[in-house]
Amino acid sequence: MPLLELQNVTKAFGAVVVADELSYSLAEGEALGVIGPNGAGKTSMFNLITGTFAPNSGSLHFCGKPITTLSAADRCRAGIARSFQIPQPFSGMTVFENLMVAATHGARDSISKANRHCLEVLEKTGLIDRANAPAGSLTLLGRKRLELARALCARPKLLLLDEIAGGLTEHECRELVDTINDVRKEGVSIIWIEHIVHALLSVVDRLIVIDFGRKIADGDPAETMALQEVREIYMGVDADG
Amino acid sequence: MSAATYTISRSTPVSRAAAVAGLILCLFLAAAPWWAGRADLRLMSEIFLYLSLASLWNLLAGYAGLVSVGQQAFVGFGGYMLFAFTMFLGVSPLLAIPIAGVLGAVVALPVAILIFRLRGAYFAIGTWVIAEVFRLVFAQVSDLGGGSGTSLPIDVVKSIAASRSARESTSYWLALGIAVLVIAVAFLFLRSRQGLALTAIRDNELAAKSLGIDIWKTKLVVYIVTAALTAATGALIFLQKLRISPDAAFSVNDWTAFVIFIVVIGGIGTLEGPIIGTIIFFALRETLADLGTIYLLVLGLVAIVVMLRAPKGLWGMLRAKVGIEFFPLARRVVKPSETQDGRHGK
């Protein structure tokens, strides 16, 4: 049984189609990379998986159960957590309290269990020294780390990462890759949207390419990157822009 | 250093000192019937009832983001329930107050289902319309005096206590009690996991729902709890006044406009704000009320100046400068070696 399954998921805003008959499945423990030009519908796909949008047609299953009509909150409780491409911190709360929200509501941990787990995640993600800082005072790098840390505190089975490596130095990027690989070892499945391809390829074992809301390639990362169609669409746009 | 060596602190030296001072203040105020005059008791009762309304509105608007201008619906409803239960069913007034609260929660549910479909300014207008509906409905009940209202019968009043001074003391303690209860409920609610959810929703709804928070349900709980306590406060207000009429019971001016003034100048979204705001409101009223309409002009002027100079209210401004909180809501991570200083790390 796949962990996540999308069947012909379609979503349009007026004439703009952000997901066009998207279908794929993700096995438990798998790490899937997602690439595609800006505006291809990658983040929209996350919004459809997490329930921020409802699809116009098609269906989604998680752990074998239909989730198409579940609310975003219920999907998180079922085990889907995400990081946002544009960080969405609870600015008035401290970093630690941001994590506590995820632990007590997403994972539904008891307060004492949540306290312990949040402290562990703060250490793992290098945020422990900023634990009492208001989340609004963090730098962009800090906010990106907070996105990852907060998602982890929800104890996800499936972790969705949206361009979490953008703007990091080479060293920071390696640290991030190590953290994500550690998360994988704990059995968490990952879907990662990323433009920093070398970081992505050092984690994922499968790659899909999305353009105009359609899946145009799906398979082994190295083979997928070598496809002529992918090179034209993906790299072509990248070189221009 | 491993995670196990860190601890979570939920209080600061300032907050612990404030708790002791608060307890002493409550005891001092509870003893007021022995040291204050009749007029002072009445004034202090009114202050406590306004403090209760302001703290409730602050919970609703400042934390849950539900900017209602229709809380007079529940004030008036509570007042009328007190009159109805004591006059027609012979219930003791002291028992009628919690009954009014429970019924306030019951009517809040269908009201919430209706108005939660509205957002922002539409929600505010919707709550006001609901309050007008309440007013018109109670004006139709001729057994409760219809449009001109009614007074609490003398035997009901006497059932509170035999002597006048005992009645006045009881009434004072009830007012003090509800204010303490409301502040305690708000404080404990905000410190709980529901408080985490509520603060998260206030800061970022998109992230809140993506992290497992049911926004609708969280706001509904706040709305219903607030309605119940507002109705109980309303029952107490009209137990003091001994007379009720639709216009007085559902007055948007008395039970919402002044309350918003108090919360905004004190500091919305803080527990301390309504306390500061209530003190300022009554200080202005007691010194300027003889001036008639000029008093209202001064109130408006104060509100404008505070909103321009201190958009987070006087307590918000003070807190930003001094960095203290009397009601500790934060969860601070403390290293074993670190000594607390009661301030957020920068």
What is the pLDDT tens value at each position of chain A, 241 positions in all?
Answer: 899 999 999 999 998 999 999 999 999 999 999 998 888 899 999 999 999 999 999 999 999 999 999 999 999 999 999 999 999 999 989 999 999 999 999 999 999 999 999 999 999 888 999 999 999 999 888 999 999 999 999 999 999 999 998 888 888 889 889 999 999 999 999 999 998 888 999 999 999 999 999 999 899 998 998 888 888 776 665 444 3
d(CA A184, CA A207): 16
Domain assignment present for A131: yes
Q: Which domains does chain B have, with CATH numbers?
A: 12-326 (1.10.3470)
Query: Do A31 and A20 have their domain in common?
Result: yes
Band the pLDDT of B261: cuts 50, 70, 90.
very high
Which residues are CB-neighbours of A35 under 8 A, at least 6 positions away?
A: A42, A193, A194, A195, A197, A200, A207, A208, A209, A210, A230, A234
Q: Is residue A86 part of a domain?
A: no
Q: Per DSSP, which regions of B37-77 are E strands?
A: none
Kindly report, residue by residue over B284-301, the tens digit of the pLDDT: 999 988 888 888 889 899
- Is B193 touching A (CB cutoff 8 A)? yes
Same domain? A9 vs A57: yes
**Nearest neighbour of A104 by CB, restricted to B196, B203, B209:** B196
Chain B residues with beta carbon closer than 8 angstroms to that of A106: 211-212
CATH number of the domain bearing residue A25: 3.40.50.300
- Rounded to 10 deg, the angle between the B272-288 and B38-57 helix axes is 140
Give yes or no for a contact between B14 and B342, defined as CB atoms under 8 angstroms apart.
Answer: yes
| Global confidence as pTM | 0.88
**Predicted local confidence at residue B322, as pLDDT:** 84
Is A88 within the bounds of a domain?
Answer: no
Residue A39: per-residue pLDDT = 86
Establish if A234 touches chain B: CB-CB under 8 angstroms: no
Q: Residue B4: CB partners within 8 Å, gap ≥ 6?
A: A116, A119
The answer on A233 and A168 residing in a single domain is: yes
Assess contact for A162 and A190: CB atoms under 8 A.
no
Number of domains observed in the structure of chain A? 2
In terms of Cα–Cα distance, which of B237, B230, B233, B239 is closest to B87? B239
Q: Write down which residue in A154, A183, A204 finishes a domain.
A: A154
Same domain, A130 and A11: no
Shared domain for A180 and A145, answered yes or no, is no
The answer to whether residue A67 is domain-embedded is: yes
- In chain A, residues with a C-beta closer than 8 Å to the C-beta of B212 are 73, 76-77, 102, 105-108, 154
Q: What is the pLDDT of residues B50-108, one digit of tens each?
A: 999 999 999 999 999 899 999 999 999 999 999 999 999 999 999 999 999 999 999 99
Same domain for A234 and A162, yes or no, is: yes
Q: Looking at beta carbons, which residues of chain A come within 8 Å of B197? A: 101, 104-105
Distance CA A141, CA A145 (A): 6
Residue of A98, A105, A162 to mutate, testing the B interface (most B Cβ within 10 Å of its Cβ): A105
With respect to residue A182, please indicate whether it lies within any of the assigned structural domains: yes
| Interface residue A150 vs chain B (CB under 8 A) | yes
Question: What is the Cβ-side half-sphere exposure of residue A82, based on CA atoms within 13 angstroms?
Answer: 28
Q: Tell me: do A167 and A235 sit in the same domain.
A: yes
Is residue B217 predicted with pLDDT exceeding 60?
yes
Question: Looking at A137, A154, A171, which one is the last position of a domain?
Answer: A154
Instruction: Name the residue with tokens 């209080």.
Output: B11
SS3 of residue A17 by DSSP: strand
Sign of the Cα torsion A42, A48, A52, A53 reads positive
Q: Could A76 and B203 be called an inter-chain contact, meaning their C-beta atoms sit closer than 8 Å?
A: no
Beta carbons of A102 and B4 less than 8 Å apart: no
The token pair at B194 is 């529901």
User: Is A177 in the same domain as A67?
Assistant: yes
Q: What is the mean pLDDT of chain B?
A: 91
Residue A31 lies in a domain: yes
CA torsion sign for B116, B118, B124, B127 is: negative
Q: Closest CB to A94: pick one of B197, B207, B344.
A: B344
**Residue A9 CB neighbour total at 10 angstroms:** 23
Same domain, A161 and A221: yes
And the tokens for A220?
């082994």
Contacts of B202 in chain A (CB under 8 A): 92
Range B199-238 burial, b when 16+ CB lie within 10 A, else e: bbbbbbeebbbbbbbbbeebbbbbbbbbbbbbbbbbbbbb
**Residue A64 sits in the same domain as residue A104:** no
Q: Does A99 touch chain B (CB under 8 A)?
A: no
Chain A closest-CA separation from residue B304 CA (Å): 25
End-of-domain residue from the set A103, A134, A154: A154
In terms of Cα–Cα distance, which of B180, B155, B158, B156 is closest to B167? B158
Q: Within 10 A of A189 (CB to CB), how many other CB atoms are there?
A: 23
Torsional sign, CA A70, A45, A125, A92: negative
Are A134 and B344 within 8 A, CB to CB? yes
Burial class (CB in 10 A: 0-12, 13-18, 19+), B122: exposed
Q: Which of B38, B47, B42, B73 is nearest to B262 (CA)?
A: B47
Q: Within a domain: residue A59?
A: yes
- Residue B4 in contact with partner chain A when CB distance is under 8 A: yes
Q: Quick one: A62 and A168 in the same domain?
A: yes
Give the helix/strand (H/E) hosting A5.
strand A4-13
Full residue range of the structural domain in which residue A142 is found: 94-154
Residues contacting residue B242 through CB under 8 Å, at least 6 positions apart:
B151, B152, B157
**Rounded Cα–Cα distance for residues A209 and A193 (Å):** 10
Structure tokens at B337: 């070696």
Q: Are residues A113 and A185 in the same domain?
A: no
Residues facing residue B5 across a β-bridge: none
Considering all CA atoms of chain B, what is the largest pairwise distance in Å, rounded to the nearest integer?
73
Q: Which of B333, B340, B343 to mutate to test the interface with A (most CBs of A within 10 A)?
A: B333
For testing contact with chain B, the best of A90, A111, A117, A152 (most B CBs within 10 A): A90
A214: in domain: yes
